[in-house]
Amino acid sequence: MEPILTARGIVKRYGRVTALDQSDFDLYPGEILAVIGDNGAGKSSLIKAISGAVQPDEGEIRLEGKVVSFRSPLQAREAGIETVYQNLALSPALSIADNMFLGREIRKEGPMGSIFRMLDRPKMARIARDKLSELGLMTIQNINQAVETLSGGQRQGVAVARAAAFGSKMIILDEPTAALGVKESRKVLELILDVRNRGMPIVLISHNMPHVFEVADRIHIHRLGKRLCVINPKDYTMSDAVAFMTGAKVPPEAMAA
């Protein structure tokens, strides 16, 4: 099977610090790939390079075989890569519907839209409601309520639903359960599996080993700015993963690919 996204020899330096040192990355269709690594291992630099938030100094990223180089998150988004950031990138005072369509609003048809630039609010509200119900998130009552009146889990749900609604190639989730309680984390994990089951490949960055081992199909372990190895969660224990990630143990085989 051809990977949907590959990265080869990615280098990113910040002044004298090398955050990414010839790092590789592969994401296959329909999988959940977890990315784990100690603090400072370069996980977020890797993810930012893929999502267009930073531009790598060297290396090549291919999306479906074609070389891409994103100069901004917007360009990555236009190419079909949606990212849910840890801070969610939602505007608290705007409504759920406004947030789902922020930056890609739909205008009314006819002269009201083309001349007066009027937004088609009923249509946006309908699509937003459909997307949220598809993912079983319609416990949210009113699509026009401000995001700041939602709970943490509901906000995460809105952000994931937004990514799932607009991402056509892949979704990147950065620490989606970090700020959530037990019950809300469970909901979000189910949501992630649900999105994967619709055929959308997902990159999951997380520090939570139980969550990673529960949902991931493969685990990419990042260490010292490089991909150390990729493991199958069924073959290894959480303590093995932590040992690889911290350098306490060397992975048996350099399964570099």
Partner 1 sequence: MSSIQEFEKTLDQSDKSVAAFEDRSFLRRIQHFLHSTPAAIPAIVLIFSIIVFGVLKGERFFTASTLTLILQQIAVVGILGAAQTLVILTAGIDLSIGVIMVLSAVVMGNCAVTYGMPAPLAVAAGFVTGTLCGLLNGFLVSRMKLPPFIVTLGTWNIIMAVNYIYSANATIRRADIETAAPLLGFFGISLKLGSAVITLGVVMMVVTVIALWYALNHTAWGRHVYAVGDDPEAAELSGIRVNKVLLGVYGLAGAIAALAAWVSIGRNGSISPSWAVTDYNLQAITAAVIGGISLFGGRGSILGTLFGALIVGVVSMGLNMLGADPQWKVLLTGVLIISAVGVDQWIRKVAG
Point out which residues bind partner 1 (CB under 8 A). 73-74, 77, 83, 85, 87-94, 98-99, 102-105, 107, 116-119, 121, 139, 145-146, 148-149, 182-183, 186, 189-190, 193-194, 210, 214-215
Asked if residue 28 lies in contact with residue 1, where contact means CB atoms within 8 angstroms, the answer is: yes
User: Is residue 228 within 8 Å of 251, Cβ to Cβ?
Assistant: yes
Residue whose structure tokens are 């189910």: 190
HEC per residue, 31-52: CEEEEEECCCCCHHHHHHHHHC
CB 103 to partner 1: min, Å: 3
> Which residue, 5 or 192, has its beta carbon nearer to partner 1?
192
Query: Among residues 162 and 226, whose Cβ is nearest to partner 1?
Result: 162
Nearer to partner 1, 211 or 227 (CB): 211
Q: How far is the CB of 50 from partner 1 (least distance, A)?
A: 15
Contact (Cβ atoms closer than 8 angstroms) between residue 46 and residue 35: yes
* CB 8 to partner 1: min, Å: 27
Cβ within 8 Å of residue 66, ≥6 positions away: none
Q: Which is nearer to partner 1, 77 or 226 (CB)?
A: 77
Give the whole-angstrom CA distance, residue 161 versus residue 166: 9
Q: 43: which 2 tokens?
A: 């996980």
- CB nearer to partner 1: give 2 or 105: 105
Cα→Cα distances 52→71, 145, 182, Å? 6, 31, 32
**CB of 21 or CB of 120, closer to partner 1:** 120
C-beta of 141: minimal distance to partner 1 in Å? 9
Nearer residue to partner 1 within complex by CB, 19 or 212 = 212
Residue 7 forms beta bridges with which residues? 25, 61
Give the whole-angstrom CA distance, residue 67 versus residue 153.
36
Q: Which two tokens stand for residue 88?
A: 């969610």
Angle between helices 182-197 and 152-166 (to 10 degrees): 10
Min. distance of Cβ 126 from partner 1 in angstroms? 17
Please report how close the Cβ of residue 72 comes to partner 1 at its closest, in angstroms.
9
- Least gap, CB of 240 to partner 1 (angstroms): 18
d(CA 97, CA 105): 10
User: Per the structure block, which two tokens stand in for 8?
Assistant: 């080869």
